[in-house]
Chains A and B, each alone.
Chain A
Amino acid sequence: MKLLGLLFFLWSSHCWALTGTEVMEKVDLRNQGENFQSLITMKLVKRGQEEIRDLVWWSTRSAMETKHLIKFKSPKSLLNTGLLIQAPKSSENQIWLFLSQAKKKEPRKIAAEKRGQSFLGSQFSYVDFEERSVADFQHKLIESSQFGKWDCYKVESIPKEKSYVYSNIETWVDKNSFVPVRIRLFIKKKAVKEFTVQQLAQEQGIWTVMKSKMEDLQKNKVTELAIQKIKYNQIQSEDTYSFSRLTAEL
């Protein structure tokens, strides 16, 4: 299960009479590109008002791990503040934080023991970006269902690992692109968050979620993500995901 991938990548295919697991395998195997560099606008409803964050986001994925480098472009007070995430499939995430204006000029490691904790103050959690394999869940195709303009498979996934943050996940997968366009996340059988896609487009032949939102159903808070620019499969240098790039100015 790769929720990060769910947000940005697309694989197009037509499937008939699939099981829940088969649907999710198709989601996992769709073309998501090897890496990307993007400019993303994140709109948070924070402290009672809307706040806009412009982020430059680099990401690369391999069979073993996914890496992200996220740098703040705006607001001005957060310029050059960054986050480096290493998400190996086999172990816990490693996260380093760099505050451009702090006295300490080296990156600071953030303990990632709370995977359910907010990601950049948004309604997304670190766990939502973790690399999980399809086999980590038991999937069940519930029904074919319409969500917005998309004809979808509705799949229920229950984690095999009891300690997983969510007790179950309901996913509406577009039958055409195999991009999840709606995901409902449950804790103790109670829906806590909902991810929905507003705009889906093909970029460099890859189905990409251009606009989406994550809603905290309990706190009634929303985070919206909009991709301003995205480039897939660029040549990324060795040190793209290094401390020197984390601390460098944009």
Chain B
Amino acid sequence: MKRQVAFLSYSIESPQKIFFVFFIVAVAIGLGLHRLKQVADVSQLVSQEDVSYQKKLMMEPIFGDSSFVLVAIEKGFNIEDAQKLKAVTDSLMENQIVKKVSSIFSVKHLEADGGGFQVVDLAPKAPVQLEDLEVLKKRLETYPIYDGQIWSKDSDSLTFFVEFKKGTTEEEMTYAVEGLLTKENVGPHWNVSGWPVINTAIKKFMDRDLMILVPLVFIITSVFLFFTFRSWQGVVFPLIGIGFAIVLSMGMMSWVGISLNVVSNAIPILLIAIATSYSIHFLTKYYLVQRDFPSHSREEHLRLTGKRIFGTIVVTAATTMGGFLANIFSPVKTIQEFGFITAVGVAGAAASALFLIPALIKVFGGGKGFQGDTSLSKWSPLLSQFSDKICQNPIKVIVVSLAIVFLFLWQIPYVTSNYSTLGYFRDHSEIVQATRKVSSAFGGILNFNIVIDSQKRDGAAKSYVLKAMDKVSENLKSLYPEDVKVTVSFGDYVKQMSQAYNGRSSLYKISDNDSEIAQYLEVYSWSGDVEEDFKYVADVDYQKVRLTGRFSLIENEDGTFSEKPIQYYQDIVEQITSGLQSELGDPFEVYNYGDIEMWRNTLQRIVKGQIYSILAAVSVVFLMTLTVLRSPFLSLYSLIPTLFAILTNFAFMAWMKIELDIATSLVSAMAIGIGVDDSVHFLLSFKGNLENSKGVLLALRETMITTGRAIVNTTAALVAGYSVFLLSSFKPLGYFGFLNILAIVSATLATVFILPSALMVTYSRRGRE
């Protein structure tokens, strides 16, 4: 303690040096802020070592990237929209960053009518009269493969998708298409979506959150601080400390090359709440000391405050950091980064409360604070009565608490996990609406891919392989009519060739004769560009062929749209894959790849990481409290409120159907780190009071009175801070805020109800013994 106070003395004796050090650190680290990158691409959540990521990386050069910008033109099969689509297609194809445009004006058509068997442009010119549209419609109706790819027969919509060159950012992709549509003055019935667009929308919303929520939480905090301390110093000094913590963490992100993402976007708001609570602890003690020792000098007030609060802030900061750092054990890199950076910010917030605020008070004064405030005296009898009530009925409290615990435990198996990018957005947001329309025209936006590798050249262009794949396509559509509406496989192209050459729609089927298929492919290659035209379904030497399709969005009873759990989709894909593998046997290798598998694996890692991080946080916090409380028994007790908070968290997730995802998975470890603060305060105070008082009852009463105010204030500060998350553009961050509030409130309730009861029961028995 002497060493701690000596540290504080430095702030009191040389405040200018403290200002200098904080200024230099803030400037040096803050210089990196302008390089802070924002990343919304969900693939960053995926581990690069993950087999699903590796497979996707391996397949992309063969079958192309799946990051398309998709556009659906509702009821767009008319002359005006078709003409605009022609202009848009031509402009996009001239754009240097565009690799391929698939629209009615760019795809190739296998001529099957009087013109003969050859590959031609499906629509070489924009229609100018109704007859042209009729001709185009007739061509589109020739082959089922066009439906769901470049037009939607049911909705009479035109659709197109754009693939971009490697190295193009998602924002460039989105703006290239959206900018062009604006230039062409298309109507609102042109809906744009696809993963690049969704990720760009995430970035926009991230900006919105930073631009609106951060200032908002600053305002709320300022108001809260003013009503708490009633002095300008009580508002400005904590805000300076908060600013320092944010600059430190965000600057550090930039220096170590971590990008701002959906999860780390929450860090500034989190730090405001946490840093405020440390400042409140320090200033509350300072103003109490000032009130209790009016004749002392400012320096003496600060020294006395330091003596009383330094250790507590260090311990609570350490436990909070421990809670955040526990996320390092998560297998998800984004969560690891979040844990590390927030821990750095917490260290900054604690340093500000312990060194910067005292130095500021030394130079500028701390104001009077608590002027005329008698709340402590008002609260004392109330808290005293409350404490006595609990101490009189500790068994009852414990029994009720245990009943609640069992009820909560009962709910845990009902917690579901999911991973959905669309799930980031509010149901009625523009991007969800556009995606719904695009999904409806394209039969979905969530791609699945099944590859058959024959292990030899031309080995996959065989009748039985293509028929097996075709059968799977049909089964998918008949067994899962709600989920799968569009599939495309190499077999579809072969069927198209059969129909075209033989001039009969009844021959839109895969021949039993391998040589016939080889001849169609040979002749197709004379007039078509095999590499380009079959790119999405076959590799260049027909060793590998692919079945690709999309899962549809599901319309809920309340009119909203959602995806089913990612595991549901992956189960379907895996079932097909294994079915095809057993049908084809050796040497064929059948596998699936793509976003669904990547997300499922990421989700599994999130769930696994949740268990790791809870265990790590509990262990770290236990060891830290053991060091401070010097009692394994009290250290175990300090975990009661946080474990109760975690249980509450999961029970409410089950009741409210809040899914465990990237954001909500962070809550538990954080709740341990932040929630344990209350119990450490309580137990340290109790331990001291027990040594000085005549019994457990009195010690608990004293503890309740003295620490009650700080606990209520910090809880209120954290709740006020976290409540801002409820306004976030992202649904998971809204849930993150709600669950954090729930965890903090339940940890506080457990601290004031369960902890005193448990202490009462334990110490009374010890007393009797």
Contacts and interface: CB of A to CB of B under 8 A. Distances in A.
Given A47-B531, A102-B501, A117-B526, A110 B117 contact: yes
Interface residues of B, number: 30
A14 interface: no
Contacts of A77: 514-515, 518-519, 522
Contacts of A99: 501, 516, 519-520, 523
B698 to A, nearest CB: 87
Interface stretch (A118-126, A207-215, A242-250): A118-126
Interface in B514-565: 514-516, 518-520, 522-523, 525-527, 530-531, 540-542
B503 A104 contact: yes
Given A47-B541, A110-B117, A121-B522, A101 B531 contact: no
Nearest to B115: A111
B62 to A, nearest CB: 11
B417 interface: no
A103 interface: yes
B116 interface: yes
Given A121-B522, A121-B525, A121-B526, A109 B116 contact: yes
A81 B117 contact: no
Contacts of A109: 116
Interface string B95-113: 0000000000000000100
Contacts of A119: 526
Interface in B270-318: none
Residue picked from B501, B515, B540, most chain A C-beta under 10 Å = B515
Nearest to B506: A103
A102 B518 contact: no
A225 to B, nearest CB: 16
B530 A47 contact: yes
Contacts of B518: 75, 77-78, 101
B630 interface: no
Nearest to A118: B526
Interface string B193-215: 00000000000000000000000
A104 B118 CA distance: 16
A111 B118 contact: yes
Nearest to B457: A49
A75 to B, nearest CB: 8
A189 interface: no
Contact of A49 (B498, B525, B531, B541): B541
Contacts of A110: 116-118, 527
Nearest to B521: A77
A81 B520 CA distance: 11
Interface string B482-502: 000000000000000010011
A109 B500 CA distance: 12
A76 B515 contact: yes
A8 B523 CA distance: 25
Contacts of A102: 498, 501-502, 516, 519-520
B513 A47 contact: no
Contact of A101 (B515, B526, B527, B540): B515
Closest 5 CB pairs of A and B: A77-B518, A101-B516, A47-B540, A77-B515, A101-B515
Interface of B: 111, 115-118, 120, 457, 498, 501-503, 507, 511, 513-516, 518-520, 522-523, 525-527, 530-531, 540-542
Given A97-B116, A117-B118, 14 more contacts: A47-B541, A76-B515, A79-B515, A99-B523, A100-B519, A101-B511, A101-B519, A102-B501, A103-B507, A108-B116, A110-B116, A111-B115, A111-B118, A114-B120
11 contacts: A47-B530, A48-B540, A99-B501, A102-B502, A103-B498, A103-B502, A108-B116, A111-B116, A121-B522, A121-B525, A121-B526
